[in-house]
Amino acid sequence: MKQYAVIYEKGETNWGAIVPDLPGCVSIGDTLKEVQENVKEAIKLYLEVLAERGDKIPEPSIKVGLVNV
């Protein structure tokens, strides 16, 4: 099992998610919970397509943290 960092961003009308280690792997949802579910499916599909094509599966390399200022 691999863990990929996901960046969530609240837009004016919905939420977006990007997966920096998987270029082009993005998702949207009406709520944070919905986009979290959607991006999980997007990652699974992205990895399935890579595997079907015989492409290398990228290793997670991005680390995320919070800084209090």
Amino acid 65: pLDDT: 93
Q: Output b/e per residue, 5-25; b: 16+ Cβ within 10 A.
A: ebeeeeeeeebbbbbeebeeb
List the one residue out of 47, 51, 29, 30 whose CA is nearest residue 38.
Answer: 29
Q: Write out pLDDT tens, residues 4-17.
A: 999 999 999 999 99
Q: Write out pLDDT tens, residues 6-62.
A: 999 999 999 999 999 999 999 999 999 999 999 999 999 999 999 999 999 999 999
Q: Structure tokens of 26?
A: 């993005």
Q: What share of the chain is helix, strand, coil (3-state, %, to 5)?
A: 30, 15, 50
